[in-house]
């Protein structure tokens, strides 16, 4: 990406193993993430550009001498950040805070939207998949890299559990996966806040019981009507804008919890006084996808959840630029790249 709206496909030097803890992965599936749209909307022009993409599945082509948990030919899935798996934060299940980790596309590391990726700290990052690269479950397995793990993280941060009423703010891929996560964790009632008919239909298939298409104060009023003016026990904020955050914090009931996983576009958290006196828990952040992949993987393999349905467009690498446009223009929920 060279600036807002400027995504280019370029030939770059071949990825290769550099450190003994690296793995070289040939990408078979990748994705465009909602968080990729923030720089697509606002990135300042750059002469050097920025490697994009952090959601991918691929085949190990080569591995460094210190890699122990995979070999050439293994199909692997990567969380959206790489981590060593051994530092204090990794051991606590907080891989995005790894002391020796990093992000794809930064510091000379390849982006996931390409033919191959050098994966640092391969043993702590990659998970070997027990299926072939053309398995029908590939779309759902690809969501474990980020959006399904992030929806799950939002639900956990919001203390979703049996018998609770959940409100999901945002009908993008993460919000839709948040509906899956809420149902999986036993929520009794799931209110989706969104206004796109195709996404609402999918949310209902995933387990949403109520739909609120209003915005702002009207959305808050409608959620309160649905909850006897008490508010929701658990709220998943899956957008990151100030307006969506205000809505999320305004529809949570006293003693409830808000799980924030939308990348924040403002520095401060609004509704501070109201949530303070309501004893509202506010938690969340970047999902430790590596910690969740092995938990969620059996549900995908056995067909209990189908998060891959959030992919409603598939393109080849040459079509990635148009894929960004389609997602930005709300023509697509989420785009999968088939390499």
> pLDDT tens across 295-333, in order?
999 999 999 999 999 999 999 999 999 999 999 999 999
Q: From 319, 296, 295, select the one nearest 307 (Cα to Cα).
A: 296
- Match 């990348």 to its residue by tokens: 263
Cα–Cα distance between 63 and 225 in angstroms, integer?
57
Q: What is the pLDDT of residue 163?
A: 96
Could you tell me the pLDDT band of residue 198, with boundaries at 50, 70 and 90?
A: very high
pLDDT band at 1 (very low <50, low <70, confident <90, very high): very high
> What b/e sequence results for 73-90 when a residue is b if at least 16 CB atoms lie within 10 Å of its CB, and e otherwise?
ebbbbbbbbbbbbebebb
Query: Token digits for 101?
Result: 């980790």
pLDDT score of 315: 98
pTM over 0.85: yes
- CB count within 10 Å of CB 255 equals 12
Confidence band, pLDDT 50/70/90 cuts, at residue 63: very high
CA dihedral 52, 148, 283, 292 (to 10 degrees): -100
For the four alpha carbons of 94, 95, 100 and 101, in that order, the dihedral sign comes to negative
């Amino acid at each position: 990406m060279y600036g807002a709206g400027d995504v280019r496909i370029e030939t770059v030097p071949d990825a290769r193993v550099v450190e003994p803890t690296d793995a070289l992965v040939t990408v078979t599936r990748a994705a465009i993430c909602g968080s990729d749209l923030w720089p697509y909307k606002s990135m300042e022009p750059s002469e050097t550009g920025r490697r994009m993409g952090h959601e991918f599945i691929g085949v190990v082509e080569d591995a460094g001498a210190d890699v122990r948990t995979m070999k050439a030919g293994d199909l692997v899935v990567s969380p959206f950040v790489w981590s060593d798996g051994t530092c204090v934060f990794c051991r606590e299940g907080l891989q995005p805070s790894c002391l020796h980790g990093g992000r794809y596309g930064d510091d000379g590391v390849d982006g996931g939207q390409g033919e191959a990726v050098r994966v640092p700290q391969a043993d702590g990052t990659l998970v070997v998949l027990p299926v072939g690269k053309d398995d029908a479950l590939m779309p759902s397995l690809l969501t474990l890299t980020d959006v399904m793990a992030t929806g799950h993280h939002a639900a956990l941060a919001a203390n979703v559990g049996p018998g609770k009423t959940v409100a999901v703010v945002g009908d993008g891929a993460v919000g839709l996966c948040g509906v899956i996560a809420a149902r999986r964790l036993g929520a009794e009632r799931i209110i989706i806040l969104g206004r796109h008919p195709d996404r609402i239909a999918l949310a209902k298939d995933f387990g949403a019981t109520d739909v609120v298409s209003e915005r702002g104060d009207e959305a808050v009023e409608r959620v309160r009507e649905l909850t006897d003016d008490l508010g929701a026990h658990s709220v998943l904020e899956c957008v990151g804008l100030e307006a969506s955050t205000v809505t999320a914090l305004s529809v949570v009931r006293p003693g409830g919890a808000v799980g924030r996983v939308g990348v924040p576009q403002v520095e401060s958290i609004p509704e501070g006084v109201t949530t303070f006196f309501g004893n509202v828990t506010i938690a969340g952040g970047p999902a430790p996808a590596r910690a969740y992949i092995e938990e969620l993987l059996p549900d995908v393999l056995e067909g209990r959840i189908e998060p891959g349905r959030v992919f409603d467009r598939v393109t080849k690498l040459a079509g990635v630029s148009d894929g960004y446009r389609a997602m930005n223009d709300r023509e697509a929920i989420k785009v999968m790249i088939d390499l």
